Amino acid sequence: MAKTHHGAPLLTPAQIYARIKPKPGKRPRGRPRLDDAEKQRRNTLKPGRVAQGSSPIAVEVSVPSRDYLAVALQYGADVLEGRITACKWVRLAVERQDRDLRRAATDASWPFVWSAAHAVEACTFLEQLPHVEGAWGTATLTLEPWQVFLMTCLFGWRQRVDLTRRRFTNFYLELGRKGAKSTLLAGVLLFHILREQEPGAQGVCGATTGAQARIVFAIAQKMVHRSRWLRQQGVQAFVNAIFTDDATIKPINAKASTQDGLNPSCIVLDESHAQTFALHDVLKSAQGARKNPLLACPTTAGYDLLSVGYALRTTVTKILEQVVTVDHLLGIIYTLDEGDDWRDERVWIKANPMLGVTPALEWVRRYRNDAIATPGLEGEFRVKVCSEWATAASAWLSMTAWDRCADRDVVLEAFAGQPCWIGGDLAQLDDLAAVALLFQRDDVLYGFVRLYLPELVVRERARAVPEYRIWAEQGILTLTVGNMIDHDRIGRDVRAWSQQFAVRDIAFDQFGSVQLIGALANEGLPARIEAKNAKTFTPPARELETRVKHGKFRHDGNSCLRWQASNVVVSRRIDDTILPKKDHPESPNKIDAIDALVLAIGGWLRATARPAPQYRIVVV
């Protein structure tokens, strides 16, 4: 039997009536009291008015109005089978949930379990909350299928050792404007302080400005005013806070330096596309003592690629593509797919899963027409309605195609004595360095990458990318002594490879490599410096792109190399040249290994290039 969060069984309507019906022999005195629904029909209901002498009800009414689990499963099936138009990231989110459900059913060592009762309890609670904005056909919320899917995922997954604790402590939700994000998260805040059994729960509504922070708070505040059953459970809503006996919800602005001393258990950072890390880091670090914390970051797309929102979005894409594993982060992205025409209304639902309900289709059509007629509005329409990040470049290499090129049985030692082309990127002195070795067999290129990182900076790098610790433990990273990259160690490895293989070319990027390349060249090795620009990188980058696409490239499944391949974007120029790069110069997502691989392919192209044809003009 399904149970509530408190362990009690969910009650049927008959069971509830049996508990609350009048005792035999006792008749209520006077005229019967009108319920809220009848008062609302008569237009006499006063929000915030509590009847004198009322007390909290003894029994929580938690009756599921429908089969939420079936709704969530049907939504996933409709997405995967194409009955619901959805983007790549939504399909991958559904596939992640399916994989996790199968694993939970078969792997007893996995630290997470699926609890249908917790999933149902959350949806039941949310659908008892009232609408507070706009005109709706029902007095209370009716979760759309996509919302049911998300809420069952967020609250259904639990820690195996303690079912009172959620699996997910971070939640990222991205979709177009007017998608009811704030209403949903206001309900989550109320559910947290009332049902999640967090002692002294503190809900925080945070944003860049005080006005923005109050949007989610104001919705929760109005929900309390319009819900007698919430007030009967001790919830009181005031101008700047919502209180229960031992919990609060408050709005705060982005003056992060003034927020020390908070102990938040549930944080909603609204419109995280506009959030810097100052407030995020202060609030997140303040959750350290919490048993069951939640940090939710709902947002539309935006313009700042250094924002909290874009950083989380990048992480979510890598989780969904299985580049990295982050079990505590639940994320979903509603946006257009690459190649979609933003003017085509058939694709708008990808970024707006409630299109036709909110926002209204006619409103979006008028907005689209204005954007077409006024070029300056196109960018705003694509960001806010289509949920496309401004100036964000698209990923270069398909991870599906990249994974098809993996051959985990291939080893570097198998190429002893064969022609070899080496490329290297030393990057910054205290950062990741990469050396790539390239071989050819028949018409297939084989690439291996060796990665170097100073051992004293692993912990620092792992703050942004936790996988650094795993790669270090697995030996994927070669750790060098101290906090600066060891060029001598890299030089020794290159010399050893020159003895092991028939090295034809050694090309290093110009930054930081002059001394090393000079020493290797003086020893008679074919070492040179190659400048990184569109002219030099276009031929080898296109060669790699084409070979990955058509399966004419092989790698050994190196997970750090895969991560870096997923990080690469390209600038495509008017002259048809391309330049692989990071999505932003300050991004922690490295591409040094791909740069090294492109340099090695460039050396291979130089060696295998056919002589340019010579033409003569003959005048007859």
For residue 137, the model assigns a pLDDT of 80
Q: Is the pTM of this model over 0.85?
A: no
For residue range 230-269, list pLDDT tens digits in order: 999 999 999 999 999 999 999 987 664 455 568 899 999 9
CB contact at 8 A, 438 and 421: yes
Residue 178 phi, psi dihedral angles, 5° rounding: 65, 35
In this prediction, residue 131 carries a pLDDT of 92
Specify whether the CB–CB gap between 435 and 424 falls below 8 A: yes
CA–CA separation, 505 and 487 (whole Å): 19
- For residue 35, what pLDDT is reported? 59
* Cβ atoms of 547 and 356 closer than 8 Å: no
Q: What is the pLDDT of residue 558?
A: 93
Give the pLDDT of residue 256. Answer: 47
The predicted pLDDT at position 33 comes to 62
Please give the pLDDT value at position 14: 43
Q: Give the CA radius of gyration of the chain.
A: 29
Contact 223, 140 (CB under 8 A): no
pLDDT at 17: 35
Q: Do residues 104 and 110 make contact, with C-beta atoms less than 8 angstroms apart?
A: yes
User: Which residue is listed with tokens 């930081």?
Assistant: 512
pLDDT of residue 62: 58
Helix, strand counts (H, E) of the chain: 21, 20
Question: Can the peptide bond before residue 588 be classed as cis, meaning omega within 30 degrees of 0?
Answer: no
- CA 311/CA 304 separation, integer angstroms: 10
Strands (E), 41-181: 112-114, 157-159, 162-166, 170-174
pLDDT value for 207: 83
Domains of the chain: 68-384 (3.40.50.300), 399-608 (3.30.420.240)
- 477-514 pLDDT, tens digit per residue, is 999 888 888 999 999 999 999 999 999 999 999 888 88
Q: Which amino acid is at 227?
A: S
Q: 452 Cβ partners below 8 Å, 6+ apart?
A: 432, 433, 434, 435, 477, 478, 479, 480, 485, 486, 489, 490
Which residues does the chain have with pLDDT short of 50?
2-6, 8, 10-28, 43, 45-61, 256-257, 611-613, 615
Per-residue pLDDT at 28: 44
